[in-house]
Amino acid sequence: MKTVLITGANKSIGFETARQLLQQGYYVYLGCRDKEKGSQAVSQLISEGLDQVEPIEIDVNNKESIKAAREVLGQKIKVLDVLINNAGISGTMDSALEVDITVLRDVFETNYFGVIEVTQAFTDLLNGASEPRIVNVTSGLGSLTLHDDPTWKYYPFKAAAYVSSKAALNAYTIMLAHSLRETAFKVNAVDPGYTATDFNHHSGPGTVPDAAARVVKAATLTAEGPTGKFFSDDNSPETGISPW
């Protein structure tokens, strides 16, 4: 049975990703920064008959929490097949001249540094897998190429902290994919699409199941699948691959 760790999986896209991977027969370690919320999410899945799941406390902003989560998981399994870096925050919508540096740092802490720290902490467990997969949940808004195109539908969305953090995450994804290019790893960035969740006060047009399905697709790529790509059905409906 393949194993997967998903950060920020107690609700919304992360939670639905857990549900869909459970339905595909994966054993899910459901990452949560709040133990109680994690237990409730797991209870919900178990009540649906999806019982190959347990919560794992992990706050991606907290070095000690990541270290503790790695130790806990290492006592349970020797091999992790999939890591999904899903936890993310939006910060404010302020533009480049207005954004508060504290907000910028907080958003980077979760969306960028947190992903790197979690990835580095769990790579040794992933190394044991025959087909390891790392999925970095990015945003279509992280495309710098499209931010330079005034005809793009999201061109006016210039939220400096969030956009910069996801563009940086995209850059790290390319770096990581390159470092692992001679291995069986597939490392990709996935835009789940603008989706109605707590993240945006449920303003997005997309559904959580559709968003999670995009994440699941990258998490379950076969050996022939691509690595080092930026998947986005929203940015590029025809190819599914967004420009960086």
List residues near ligand NAP by CB under 6 A.
Answer: 7-8, 10-14, 33-34, 37, 59-61, 86-89, 110, 114, 137, 139, 191-192, 194-195, 197-200, 204
Residue 14 · residue 22 · CB < 8 Å: no
List CB contacts of 209: < 8 A, sequence separation 6 or more.
16, 20
- DSSP output for 8-71: T-SSHHHHHHHHHHHHTT-EEEEEESSHHHHHHHHHHHHHTT--SEEEEE--TT-HHHHHHHHH
Give the phi and the psi of residue 29 in degrees, each rounded to 5: -100, 110
- Report the SS3 class of residue 230: strand
CA triple 178-184-189, angle to 5 deg: 50
* Smallest gap from residue 210 Cβ to ligand NAP (A): 11
Rounded least distance, CB 115 to ligand NAP, Å? 9
Annotated catalytic residue within 29, 162, 172, 194 = 162
In the complex with ligand NAP, the residue whose CB is nearer, 131 or 210, is: 210
Please state the closest distance from residue 166 (CB atom) to ligand NAP, in A: 7
Q: From residue 103, how far is each of 95, 107, 142 by CA, in Å? A: 12, 6, 17
Chain residue whose CB lies nearest ligand NAP: 88
Q: Is 162 annotated in the active site?
A: yes
And the tokens for 191?
């835009």
CB nearer to ligand NAP: pick between 81 and 233: 233
Q: Which is nearer to ligand NAP, 10 or 227 (CB)?
A: 10
For the bound state, the minimum distance from the C-beta of residue 138 to ligand NAP, rounded and expressed in Å, comes to 7
Give whichever of 145 and 200 is closer to ligand NAP, judged by the CB atom. 200
Task: Name the residues annotated as catalytic.
Answer: 162
